Amino acid sequence: MNRFLLPVVLFGLLVALLFVGIQRAPQKNIIASALIGKPAPVFRVPMLGSDETFDSTSLRGRWYVLNVWGTWCPECRVEHEMLLEIARTESVPLIGLNWKDEDILAQRWLAELGDPYDAVPVDRDGQVAVEWGVYGAPETFLVDDQGIVRHRHVGAMTAAVWSRDFLSRLPRAPVSPSAPALVPAEG
């Protein structure tokens, strides 16, 4: 009996050790993206709640953030207040790609929680997300004014992630002496 107990105990300790290591890994939300430094995929899809079409080429010439979300995603709800804070700063256009969702649920979500997005294109079949290399929602990408993907974050957006990984990469606009400086919210 003891010769069978020792391997089970050792296996259990190994699993526990790996679990703790993964939870404490400083870069557990960083998944390398083949798109970093390359042109952002071009897409043309319907806009949420509209007969209009969203064409990603309309964003050329300015930096933007693409946030992939869905009402079925618990972490999307976690990050939503932070997205509202980002939108209030007006530091960069925020595009919310609604991924594999029902339009009515997405519209209800934005009506109830607030709409941080400058545009909400709809990726009903998931093809746009595939082209962007999305593993799951939420995922957020920073794209520069030349249409090049500069950063990708997997997981809920936080003030620390926004400041460290996104805001720090945005070009600094000249600040006039009378204009208040944009400072990321803490929390």
Nearest to 97 by CA among 61, 78, 73: 73
Closest CA to 143 of 10, 16, 44, 33: 33
Q: Tell me the average pLDDT across 130-151.
A: 96
d(CA 82, CA 157) in angstroms, rounded, equals 7
Residue 82's SS3 state is helix
CA distances from 145 to 37, 39, 60, 97, 140 (A): 12, 11, 6, 19, 16
- Is the pLDDT confidence value at 24 over 90? no
Delimit the domains of the chain by residue range: 28-38+61-169
What average pLDDT does the segment 40-58 reach? 96
> How would residue 39 be classed by pLDDT, with cut points 50, 70 and 90?
very high
Helix axes 103-113, 74-89, angle to 10 degrees: 50
pLDDT at 57 over 90: yes
Average of per-residue pLDDT across 64-70 = 98
Name residue, tokens 């107990």: 5
**What's the pLDDT score for residue 143?**
97
Rounded Cα distance between 146 and 73, Å, is 31
Q: How far apart (Å, rounded) are the C-alpha atoms in residues 65 and 87?
A: 11
Percent of the chain topping pLDDT 90: 71
pLDDT digits (tens, 9 = 90+) for 5-22: 777 766 666 666 666 665
Q: Specify the pLDDT at position 34.
A: 77
Could you check whether the bond before residue 138 is cis, i.e. omega within 30 degrees of 0? yes
Instruction: Tell me the CATH number for domain 28-38+61-169.
Output: 3.40.30.10
Mean pLDDT of 157-183: 71
Q: If you average pLDDT over every residue of the chain, what do you get?
A: 85
Res. 35 pLDDT band, cuts 50 70 90: confident
**Cβ proximity of 170 and 92 under 8 Å:** yes
> What is the per-residue pLDDT for 18?
63
pLDDT digits (tens, 9 = 90+) for 145-167: 999 999 999 999 999 999 999 99
